[in-house]
Structure 1
Amino acid sequence: MTSPGKENLINIVKNRDEVVTKLSNLIKKVSDERIAKQGFFNIGVSGGSLVGFLKEGLPKIQADFSKWRVFFCDERVVPEDSPDSTFGRYKQHLIGATNLKENQFVTIKQGIPAAQAAEDYARQMPMYFPGENVPKFDMLLLRMGPDGHTCSLFPGHELLEEKSKWVSPITDSPKPPPARVTLTFPVINSALYCVFAACGTEKATMVKRILVNKEDLPATRVKPVGGNLVWILDEAAGEYVKAV
């Protein structure tokens, strides 16, 4: 897969509103390009603050949401009506606010253990990525945790070295709830775009550790092969880094 044009690696904007705007405009740009090229847009989303960014930003863009297929970079193995469910939050905040429909979200199977849920999620992938040895997402919207984790890939965890599975279970997450499923680095680093968006002074030190010090943290290992790695930061989160 070839990139349609490199984006800036590190973008520093004034405040949270500008982060939301820049992120949403990038999503629209890539969505338009991929739909024009292949007829659909495969995007993976994360939880946390990203839900709020998208809740505010996506209703303001003119994208062909009917061509979107929305996956989860990771998901907690909890019922959809649990406050811990990432899909539950998107269902609450995005369906209705945009033209996205519930059946466009590729969700984990309910009522089964994490290992089975991961296997089932992986089995769904070839329907959306036919003929690909590793799923190549058009865009993954990632989050950076306070410990430098991304998806449900935590510092020092054995899943950091997973090379064969597309989706892995984790039952000992250091953050509750402990049972989750997560995309692995072979899938993450096959994406056309990997995008981090972060705001606030509480993010600044970890951003520095990843982008300046380049410490071996999960988020530092996000290095899409032949794709684009994009960071969108407000001035507070980007205090110790320079726009590139």
Structure 2
Amino acid sequence: MSGPRVVVFPSVAELGSTLAQLVSSRAEKALSTGESFSLGLSGGSLVSILSKELPAVLSLDCSRWLIGFCDERLVPFSDPESTYGLYKNQLFEKINIPEDRILAIDPSLPVQECADDYAGKLSKAFNTEQIPVFDMLLLGMGPDGHTCSLFPDHPLLQESQRTVAPISDSPKPPPQRITMTLPTVNAARCVVFVSTGGSKAPVLKQVLEGGEGPALPAALVAPRQGELFWLVDEPAAASLTSQVERPGPGAKL
């Protein structure tokens, strides 16, 4: 891959509209050459952005989409912390994606078994014993530079064999989670980070422009043969000195 494309928007609304168009265009591209479009979702602000903007994309047919999750909290789907539960209530009911095309964890299992079970679901869905290759992953970043449930200085950053791993000591509650590993993230054809708000400015600068100490987890995301986008708003980009893109209204990526 070449370097990341850092695209700065005046508002979250304009960012969200462009994100929806980017997802739609990559879906059309994947479906024109294959049987499905595989999309990995993350929680946080992405839930509300996608729930508002994706249904508004005209002629969006999700019947051949395959939805997975980049990470998930080990809580019941009815729990407000459940990423699947949030998307089910806010997005999935608005778009025509078949329920069997949504890959969710089994929250009734212990964390290790849950990770193994989810890895098995990915293997079956992608028909491979190797690393599944998603068409697109949508990621967020915490103020500590974590992404998925991969946290700074955590041993999981060194994981090279598993596609999905359990974590029982998340520094951010809830402690038990399931997460894609870096090899899975970096196998994707397109990875899109969404980062908004002034609180993200210092860590965004460190991730994109470097700094002292070990690289933060978000800085380790570098798709081997794919695209990498950072879609950010002006407050998040306030500390950046490197070159960025500022597209005009209605521009497509």
TM-score of the two chains, using structure 2 as the length reference: 0.91
Which aligned pairs between 1:19-168 and structure 2 lie closer than 5 A?
A: 19-61=15-57, 62-131=59-128, 133-168=130-165
CA distance, structure 1, for counterparts of residue 151 and residue 131 of structure 2: 22
**Residue 66 of structure 1: SS of its match in structure 2?**
coil
- Larger deviation: 203-212 or 183-192? 203-212
CA distance, structure 2, for counterparts of residue 210 and residue 183 of structure 1: 20
Are residue 173 (structure 1) and residue 173 (structure 2) matched?
no
Equivalent pairs counted in the alignment come to 240
Match in the other structure for 1:225: 224
The CA RMSD over aligned residues, in Å, is 1.6
Q: CA deviation at 1:102?
A: 3.1
Gaps in structure 2 of 5+ consecutive residues: 246-253
Paired AA for residue 63 in structure 2:
S
Aligned structure 1 segments of 4 or more residues deviating by more than 4 angstroms: none
Cα gap change, 1:7 to 1:39, in 2 (>3 Å)? farther
- Larger deviation: 6-15 or 184-193? 6-15
CA distance, structure 1, for counterparts of residue 96 and residue 128 of structure 2: 29
- Larger deviation: 91-100 or 160-169? 91-100
**Residue 163 of structure 1: SS of its match in structure 2?**
coil
**Residue 94 of structure 2: SS of its match in structure 1?**
coil
CA distance, structure 1, for counterparts of residue 156 and residue 203 of structure 2: 21
Q: Is the 8 A contact 1:20 1:57 kept in 2?
A: yes
Match in the other structure for 1:235: 234
Q: CA deviation at 1:130?
A: 2.0
CA distance, structure 1, for counterparts of residue 85 and residue 15 of structure 2: 24
Q: Is the 8 A contact 2:30 2:37 kept in 1?
A: yes
Identity %: 41
Q: CA deviation at 1:134?
A: 1.2
Q: CA deviation at 1:233?
A: 0.8
Q: CA deviation at 1:219?
A: 0.2
Q: Is the 8 A contact 2:191 2:223 kept in 1?
A: yes
- Larger deviation: 46-55 or 211-220? 211-220
